[in-house]
Structure 1
Amino acid sequence: MDGKSIAQWPASERPRERLLKQGPEALSDAELLAIFLRTGVPGTSAVALARQLLDEFGDLGHLLNASKQQFCAIRGLGEAKYVQLHATLELARRYLAVQWQRGEPLTSPQAVRDYLRHRLQGLEEERFMLLLLDSQHRVLQTIELSRGTIDAAQVYPREVVKTALKANAAAVILAHNHPSGVAEPSQADRHITGRIQQALALVDVSVLDHLVVGRGQSCSFAERGWL
C-alpha cells in the first residue's frame, strides 16, 4: 500500500484514524512522522517517505537532530518542514519544562536526564543550563546561563550564586551539551564545576549533579563520584 495515497488505505490502517482510536503510543515512529509530514511525494505515501527518512538517518533521534542542510536535501522536504519540525520540538521541550515546574519533586535521576537530553541534545552550539530546586527538590526555574564554550569564561560562579539566591534555591543541577556529540567531560568542565560548587557552598546551596549531554548519551558528575 506504500505506493497508494493514505486516503486510499482502509480506515483501520490510516495513521490519523489509528491515533484517534488507539492513542499515539500505538503508532510506530514512521506513522507518527507521517502524520507530521502530512503528504508524501508522487508515487510514495507519507508513511513510505517517513520510513525512507528513518532509514536515511538511522533512527528518529538522528533525524530530529539533523542540520537544516541535511534535512532539506531530502526529496519531499524543505525549509517549511524544517521550521515546522523544530517548532514542534520546542513545544515539546517547553511542555516538559512546564510539567517540571508544577511542584512535583524530582525523584528520578532518569527523568532529569531525559529532560536535559531533550533540551540540549543536537544543538550546534554549547549551552550551559541551571536548574534551581527548592529544599524538596522541586524545580523552581530552568535558566540558560550562557552560549558558547565553557572554557571561554562565559559561566561565572558569582552569577550562579546570584541567580540561586534570587530564586531562594536550596540546590541546583548544572547541565551543558557538547555539540561534538561526545559526552565525556573536559578538564574545563570539571574546573568550572568545582568553582561553582565551592561558591555555592558558601551560601549553603548544594550542587546535586552536573550532566554533560552528547548525542544519544550523557555523563553524570554525581555518578562518577566527582561531587
Structure 2
Amino acid sequence: MKIYFVLGIGLLLSSCSVNREVVGKYASQKNPNIFEFNSDSTFKYEFREFHLYQYATGRWKKTSQNTLVLNSTVSSATIPVKISKLDDVDLNRTKMTIDLRISDGMDLSNYKCKVFVNKTLFRITRCDSLKFIEIKSGIQQLSFQFTKEPIVITSNLISLPLSTEIISNPPSNFAVNLTFNDTLFSYRVFKDEVVKFRPNRIEIFNPHLKQWGHIYKVPDSSNIFLRLK
C-alpha cells in the first residue's frame, strides 16, 4: 500500500509540474497566434495578421504529456434566428419583418447584411434598412450574413463576416428576430482544438497551410496583447 501511495504522489507531482510548465505567455514574430495559459486552466488568445484581428478566452486541459485541448468561452459564432408566424397569409408571396439588434456596437448603419434565399444572394443592404422584405417566389431556405463596414473608418482592423442559422421552409408571413453582440465579429471559436506542447513552446495547426506552426514562450512581463489585458 505504501508503494502505491508513493507512486500516486509521484504521478500527481509530475502532473502538477507539467501544468506549471504550460503556464505562461507564448508569442512569435513569425506566427500571428498569441496565447497566455493561466494556472487556473483558463487562457487568453489573440490573432493579428495584416489588418485581421481575432481574440478568444476559454479553458485549456492537458490530455496527455504533450497535448492540450482548448475550448473557448463562446462555443459558436453562428447567429441564432428566432421566427414567429404572423397573420395575413398570401400564398403568392412571402413577407417578413426583421427585428435586428447588435448589442454594444455602433449604429446599425455601420453594418451590412446579405440576404440569401434558396442559397442565392437576394439582397445586400445596410442594416438600418433591413426591416421588411417581400419575396414573390416561395422560400425553401433563408439565411443572413453580416459584415462590419463603418461609414466613418476609425480603425484599420478588419473582422470576418458572421452568418446566421439556416431557416428552412418558413411560413408565408413571419417575423425574424436577430440579436447578437458586436464583439462576435472578432471572436475566434475553439472547440476541442488540439495544441501540442513542447518545452518552452507550443505548436498550433494551420488548416490553410496544412502544417504545424511554433509559438515560443516569452517572459511573463512581456506585453504581447493588443486589446486583452
Scaled by the length of structure 2, what TM-score is found? 0.20
Q: Relative to total residues, which structure has the larger strand share, 1 or 2?
A: 2
**TM-score, reference length from structure 1:** 0.20
Greater C-alpha Rg: 2
Structure with bigger RCO (C-alpha 8 Å, 6+ apart): 2
